[in-house]
Structure 1
Amino acid sequence: MALRTHPDSSWGWMVVLAGFVQTALVFGVIRSFGVFFVEFVAHFKESTSTVSWALSLGVAVLQFASPMGSALSARYGARPVVMAGGLLASLGLLLASFSVKISHLYLSIGLISGFGWALVFTPSTAAVSDYFQKRRALAMGLAVSGAGISSLVFSPLFQLLADSYGWRGALLVVSAMSLNLVVSAALLRPLTGEGDGQPDVQAQDSKWRQTLASLFALELLRQGRFLRYVLAFVLVDAGYFVPYAHLVAHAREEGCDEYQAAFIMAAAAVADMFGRIWAGWLADTAVFCRLVHHLTLWTVLTGVSLALVPLGHGFTALVSLGLCYGFFAGALVPLQFASLAEIVGADSVLGGIGLMHMLESVGALVGTPLSGWLRDITGNYTASFLTAGAFLLAGSAILLTLPDYFSCSRPSQTKAETLTGPPDHQAFELRGLPQHDRV
């Protein structure tokens, strides 16, 4: 007979541990991949823009396929889906170590690992949310903090592995590390009710249909305010991920050695963690009228910090700029989904998140290769970071055009929630999409 587990039980903290490991081995690897980027450019003798597509594809597939991971989790449970995702993520990195053409990296890291990461992230996040009611925010914060802590460790570790074993050997080690996604998935014990402890098949099928119905909220495409909000984040994503691939390479060109360059990215990751905490606290103090005002502030500051990166010459200056970027970019994260309720109304947030997540993957797909192409034609990363900053500033400008932006009252559309009731938190958990985190 299955063991009974309930919300707020002690086993929930084991689920938090699993979520911590999983965010560490997904986003920590993505954020630290700039170390391998330098090695790929040197080995394959390809342009910067060509190599940039490998990581860009991985991030885009992660975003685009996230609703699929949520739907599969709703039907089959988080444990088998995350296990399958961990195997795919590890397999992609394993195959990447045998690459003889750059196109092999696109397939292995971009498609296989990217899809595996999508199957890991959303179901594991949903499991953490599902296990907690009283301390859900704390549990979610602890789970997603794995991304920041692992980024601090992985950047210098990956550089050490590349120096010791070459990039192929280093990818083999990272592939083996990713198998811990499978081990941690075993901790995602499904919740059971008060009955015989067996899952209710009819209820699961009902949840499956409910999840599928909410995956593609196409009716939101007729809402101008939602389209503008999505367009803003397509532009934001076009610049947001550029440092993940190119900040290490830029630091190397500015005279930093391998470990100094890796440390800059690690410092940005630590600042990212503090930025998320600070932004959440500041939003709770209601310094500005609405969440979207806080979101605009952090988007502008992130864009400015990226545009200032070319002014950093030498290790000290680049560390300072990396800390600024990390703090501001981290502060932006928890407000993106929370602000969406002000745009479409609480009753439409569920479908809006999934649709927005897929559409904004276009920005993540295009931004990094464009940055690499600018480096190829100019000979340095100045134009790349200026353009990345401009994308975020353009996104913040679009936020200013939202209806009733300069009013302290929420848009009239969102007032419908007083009639329809609070948002369906259980549906959020089914989708694996937390209400306040982007990672």
Structure 2
Amino acid sequence: MVHRTEPPDGGWGWMVVLSAFFQSALVFGVLRSFGVFFVEFVAAFEEQAARVSWIASIGIAVQQFGSPIGSALSTKLGPRPVVMTGGILAALGMLLASFATSLTHLYLSIGLLSGSGWALTFTPTLACLSRYFSQRRSLAMGLALTGVGISSFAFAPLFQWLLNNYAWRGALLLVSALSLHLVACGALLRPLSLTEDTAVGGPWAQITSLLCHGPFLRYTVALTLINTGYFIPYVHLVAHLQDLGWDPLPAAFLLSVAAISDLVGRVASGWLGDAVPGPVARLLMLWTTLTGVSLALFPVAQASTTLVVLAVAYGFTSGALTPVAFSVIPELVGTGRIYCGLGLVQMIESVGGLLGAPLSGKENRVADWAGHVMVSSWGKEPGWCMLIVPSSM
């Protein structure tokens, strides 16, 4: 373990950025592109869209709700063995899903098992990255999270091609093989010891202190409400476009268009977060507001050109809010408590990830979304921002 008095803002940290890049691609890139499987599961199991939506929602919720476990284990053992174990679980879940005979099987394999693997990979990796950077944290976070945009661009049409040629069972086997690369991502992580660590205590002491930290708790509630609407287009957009008469492949390609904008938004936001003076939280408020507006317009759009424009706008703004959202957390809790702080945020916001997609798909139509948007004021500490709560009409 390397000991430093403060984050080095570089060095091996760039290898951690590389690890986080591929890890975010193999977790959220897969989740974002999983809507391609949505129509196949509805047809294969003859189930309602709302029930099928629970597959991805359970996976997201387990990933987030189980994050404190990954954080606590990383505090004790270091992030490397924890992330490598998570990669094995994520791949195993997809492998077992390829033999599914019911939705319950998919809930347990993809939702619970792969979700548990994702819980052991995403949070510890981002927390490790946050400890390596201070002045360039937003940029490093933005570069790391571009893996989501690039993989979403590649995975959506790739998964559709796999479905067309190998059916959903064969496609899931290949997704399992992709997920196994998370083990290599974990091997790149090198624990970093900082002087601040001695003053924050163990995991339980850190959790106790964070539960009494007002600004941190308010910020967590805001992210939870954002999370309710964040993943909805990636779960339901393909089905929505098919309802409007689009063919499956062009519909899947529109996810790729959003992913390109997402990629640009993450890099631009990461650069602005470090370059623009003032609290990073104000940039987060801007991006979240624009995300809410674009999301609320999706249900009423009919023309192909309008849908493409909205996909570009949503991709850019939703991608831009992500690196600054994670960069705010170390500013609130300090780098010494970042493992537990990020783990708690992920756990609490799992409520939004669990409910968002099923609520929006209740009537089997994405056109039933309604984006209810509210912006509250910011004080000296970041605590509240755009609320995006979808409901059926």
* Aligned residue in 1 for 2:173: 172
Q: CA deviation at 1:306?
A: 1.0
Q: 1:278 to 1:207 in 2, by over 3 A?
A: same
Shift of residue 123, structure 1, vs aligned partner:
2.3
Structure 1 residue 333, shift from structure 2 partner? 1.7
Cα distance, 1:277–1:8 mapped onto 2, change above 3 Å: closer
What is residue 305 of structure 2 aligned with on the other side? Answer: 316
Q: Does 1:53 align with 2:54?
A: yes
- Does 2:44 align with 1:43? yes
8 Å CA contact retained: 1:255, 1:314: no
Q: 1:135-175 deviations in whole A, cap 9, x for unaligned? A: 65554433322111111100000000011000111000000
Q: TM-score, normalised by structure 2?
A: 0.84
User: Which residue does 2:260 correspond to in 1?
Assistant: 270
TM-score when normalising by structure 1: 0.76
Deviations 1:237-278, CA, capped at 9 Å, x for gaps: 111111121011111222222221111111111111222233
Shift of 1:297: 2.6
Cα deviation per residue 1:339-398 (whole Å; 9 max; x = unaligned)?
5678x676997565443332221111111111111x23xxx32222x2xx21xx13xx3x
In the alignment, which residue of structure 2 is the partner of 1:260? 250
In structure 2, the CA distance between the partners of 1:337 and 1:83, relative to structure 1 (3 Å rule), is: closer
Q: Tell me whether 1:246 sits opposite 2:246 in the alignment.
A: no
Matches within 5 A, 1:42-81: 42-81=43-82
Question: Corresponding residue for 1:147?
Answer: 148
After the TM superposition, which of the residue ranges 300-309 and 152-161 deviates more from structure 2? 300-309
- Contact 1:75-1:208 within 8 A present in 2 as well: no
Q: Match for residue 224 of structure 2?
A: 234
**Partner residue of 1:210 out of 182, 202, 222:** 202
Call closer, same or farther: CA 1:279–1:113 in 2, change over 3 Å.
Answer: same
* Corresponding residue pairs, total: 378
Where structure 2 has 5 or more consecutive residues not aligned to the other structure, the ranges are: 384-393
Secondary structure at the counterpart of residue 329 of structure 1:
helix
CA distance in 2, matches of 1:230, 1:269: 26
Task: Say whether 1:22 aligns with 2:23.
Answer: yes
Question: Whole-Å Cα distance in 2 between the matches of residues 347 and 131 of structure 1?
Answer: 9
5+ long unaligned stretches in structure 1:
194-202, 405-409, 414-439
- Secondary structure of the 1:308 match is helix
- Describe the SS at the equivalent of 1:100: coil
Match of 1:161 in 2: 162
Tell whether the 8 Å contact from 1:216 to 1:355 is kept in structure 2 after alignment. Answer: no
Name the SS for the 1:370 alignment partner.
helix
Percent identity over the alignment?
A: 52
Residue 356 of structure 2 corresponds to residue 364 of structure 1: no
Q: For 1:144 and 1:104, locate their aligned partners in 2 and report how far apart those are by CA, in whole Å.
A: 31
C-alpha distance in structure 1 between counterparts of 2:31 and 2:51, whole Å: 18
* Residue 381 (structure 1) aligns with: 366
CA RMSD of aligned residues (A): 3.4
User: Whole-Å Cα distance in 1 between the matches of residues 44 and 109 of structure 2?
Assistant: 17
Quote the Cα distance in structure 2 between the aligned partners of 1:245 and 1:361.
16
CA distance in 1 between counterparts of 2:138 and 2:217 reads 29
The answer to whether the 8 Å contact 1:67/1:215 transfers is no
Higher Rg of the two aligned structures: 1
Partner in structure 2 of residue 184 of structure 1: 185
Letter in 1 for 2:321: L
Aligned partners of 1:5 and 1:11 also within 8 Å: no
Shift, 1:316, TM fit: 3.3
Residue 41 of structure 2 contacts residue 52 of structure 2 at CA under 8 Å; is this kept in 1? yes
Q: Deviations over 1:156-214 (max 9, x none)?
A: 00000011000111000000111111133233355699xxxxxxxxx9x9799523322
Distance 1:61 1:19, change over 3 A: same
Question: Taking structure 1 as reference, are residues 358 and 216 closer, same or farther at Cα in structure 2, changes over 3 Å only?
Answer: farther
Q: Give the superposition deviation at 1:285.
A: 6.1
